[in-house]
Amino acid sequence: MIPAIGNAEEQLAAFLMQLEPKKIGWQVAFIHLSRLSPAFRRDFSVRIALNSLHDQLGRFEGRLFRLSNNDVVALVRGAAVADVNEAIFKLKALYQDDPLAQRDGAFATWYDLSVSLGELLDQCRQMIARKAQREAAATAETVPAGDGEPLDPLRLSKLQSILASLDISAHIRRQSVCVMLPDHKPERVFDEIYVRIADLQRPLMPNVDFLGNRWLFQTLTQLLDARVLALIARRPGDYLNGPISLNLNVDTLMSEAFLNFDEAIKSGSQRSIVIEIQAFDLIANVRSFLMGREFLHSRGYRLCLDGLNAITLPLFERDRLGFDLFKVLWDETLDAGLDSARAANFAKSIAAISGPRVIMARCQDDHAINFAHKLGLAMLQGRAVDNRLNPQARHRNRN
């Protein structure tokens, strides 16, 4: 069984989503280690649980997920119910001195994925929300006084008032996505149009950490979505003189702001616009996305799933979700930090969706470009691409 590493809640949700068309035969054991007393909830104890489950169920196809609260989720295909129950029983025996193990039905919950997939996906979204709240609270507690106060509802309300009268055009940035073959100059495919949050933060609220509360930050980005859409609709000649992409929240797609934008732009312009959706936002709002997707495709927009990496790319059922493009974010762990199995799986996933549909973003140096070329990728974005596309405009963008 393959263990999940990092962002396990998001990975679990993505894995469940891609199982929906083939959910028959999958069982899920949800081990509630977070309910153990502190003495049994230490890191080494959770590692023992993971090893035990791997030993008992490793002969079957499946995945193990260690969640941020130390609960463990095992997904197994091909095992009999008795096999899963035996694995849970043996694991429970390791904690027989803890009160949790002595309460019937409290230690673990078993699911048949063929009838419980929707319920589990809802649980995943709730877990992702709780995890974000814990992270926001932890950030607020650790930020030194006077050096990055967290965004709160009062400050957000003040920001909303400021943004209503702010000339947002002064904060618009462009960064090109280019086709770039080895030993060739890059050729622009489309420009991503966006607002750099740091450029807003410094002049407006320099001592406030906009990322300190993920959910308030998302509300802020929705406000920015509306301002950017209104600006482009008002001045299409400045922004729609070539293909572009817009990175939008799922909730924005069916908002009045987007519908007004769609009505205002020239008919046919939609075919030159790519709408980018963050993977995290998709997981949290998949039902809303599926509704919005039909409208977007009917109007001619293309869709790009953004924010992917070597671990999350293979987890999404890409064709079913209806994305036209996929954006993988470069970082050095893609090259140096992947073991051979994960590297092979990553390359296989890229080959399965065909290289021309994958963008390698955040290419900050030649190392990133060379790695993308090794994978057969030619569509690139980032500072190193900017520098080759327009050497006179170095450092205009920092991603």
Question: Cα(252)–Cα(281) distance, rounded to whole angstroms?
Answer: 11
Report CA Rg, the chain.
23
Average pLDDT over residues 329-344: 70
Indicate if the pLDDT at residue 323 is higher than 50. Answer: yes
Q: What is the pLDDT of residue 355?
A: 56
The answer to whether the CB of 205 falls within 8 A of the CB of 155 is yes
CB-based burial label for 56 (10 Å; 0-12, 13-18, 19+): buried
Neighbouring residues of 17: CB distance < 8 A, sequence distance ≥ 6: 121, 283, 286, 315, 316, 317, 321
Beta-strand pair 26-31/108-112: antiparallel
Indicate if the pLDDT at residue 144 is higher than 50. Answer: no
The answer to whether the CB of 289 falls within 8 A of the CB of 305 is no
For the chain, give every residue range classified as CATH 3.30.70: 2-139
Q: Report CA torsion sign: 378, 383, 385, 389.
A: positive
For the chain, give every residue range classified as CATH 3.20.20.450: 149-393
Range of lowest pLDDT (100-104, 276-280, 353-357, 358-362): 353-357
Average pLDDT in the chain? 84
Indicate if the pLDDT at residue 161 is higher than 70. Answer: yes
Q: What is the pLDDT of residues 175-222, one digit of tens each?
A: 999 999 998 899 999 999 999 888 888 888 888 888 767 678 888 899
Q: Would you identify the CATH topology of the domain 149-393?
A: TIM Barrel (3.20.20)
pTM for this entry: 0.69
CATH classification for the domain delimited by 2-139, as one of 3.40.1130, 2.60.40, 3.30.70, 3.30.1380: 3.30.70
State the DSSP code for 161: H
The string over 112-130, giving b where at least 16 C-beta atoms fall within 10 Å of a residue's C-beta and e elsewhere, is: ebeebbeebbebbbebbee
Average pLDDT over residues 375-385: 93
In a 3-state reduction of DSSP, which class is residue 64? strand
